Amino acid sequence: MPTQTRPDKVDLNVFGVQLEHGEFTNLVAATFSRLGSSLAPNELVLRPREALAFCDEFRREIGCVDVPDDVILRALMSRLALKDSSRGPESGPQRTPEYIPPVPGAEWKPRRP
């Protein structure tokens, strides 16, 4: 059954994981990178079979078969979000409250609070 909560709010010890949340997230991301998937982490949403296969492989590698899929995938997605937020505004437009996507023929204006 899905935990439906943020990965940093889940008690990983319940699943036999003896890592802090940051270490767990780093391990999930490192495992995903090491497995050499041609998919970006956010594309796993569109390919559930590959997502399940990744989760199964991750559980095998860490030896904790009880870690739910959504805990693993949320950790990977939170790492992706953290990586994207650290790139800064020079990396391209971000969807923030100050950013309004351009409309053809309209000029860009920041939102005012």
Distance CA(25)–CA(71), nearest Å, equals 10
Q: CB neighbours (10 Å) of residue 75?
A: 26
What's the mean per-residue pLDDT of the chain?
Answer: 75
In the 8-state DSSP scheme, what is residue 6?
-
| CA 91 distance to own-chain centroid | 19
Which stretches of 1-113 are DSSP H helices? 21-34, 48-62, 69-85
Q: Please tell me the predicted confidence (pLDDT) of residue 42.
A: 81
pTM (two decimals)? 0.65
- pLDDT level of residue 109 (50, 70, 90 thresholds): very low
- pLDDT level of residue 71 (50, 70, 90 thresholds): very high
What's the pLDDT tens digit per position in 19-66?
A: 888 899 999 989 888 887 777 888 888 888 999 999 999 999 999 899
